[in-house]
Amino acid sequence: MSERVEGVVINLNAFGATIRLESGELASAPEGDVTAHRPAYERSLSTHKPLDFELRTGGRRPLVTLLPQIQDEGLDEQIAVYLKETQEWEGSDGVPVHERRFLRKKRRAAIFESKHQA
């Protein structure tokens, strides 16, 4: 079982890291994940900045691995601009393209079933 949680690095060592989760629980981060993302772990340790982790429970202590962190500040704005540009691609009848395709496929499936029923 896994879920997304926030936590702050409180200790780095040769065997991984110790993370204080937003719930107050302590969790371990494996050495391989710490090695792969050392700058993010060190930044959280020194600034107490929360990071997003994937939490896995089931052992003695919860285990966490770092989720990808998006650092691009203008990404939300770029996505909004793109979505506004693509709004005009929809048909003038107000039915979104994906719904028109779904309905067309649904009708074809009904015709196929009616022809091939014994």
Q: Tell me the per-residue pLDDT of 1-42, one tens digit each, with 9 for 90 and over.
A: 678 899 999 999 989 999 999 999 999 999 999 999 999 999
Q: CA 35, CA 66: separation in Å to the nearest integer? A: 11
- CATH number of the CATH domain containing 28: 2.40.50.140
**Structural domain total, the chain:** 2
Q: Same structural domain for residues 45 and 79? A: no
Pair 50, 90 in one domain? no
Task: Please indicate, yes or no, whether residues 61 and 27 belong to a single structural domain of this protein.
Answer: yes
Give residue 46's domain range: 2-66
Strand (E) or helix (H) holding 16: strand 16-21
Residue 70 confidence (pLDDT) above 80: no
Give the max Cα distance, the chain.
Answer: 72
Whether residue 29 is found in the same domain as residue 62? yes
- Answer yes or no: do 6 and 62 share one domain: yes
88 shares a domain with 32: no
**pTM of the shown model:** 0.57
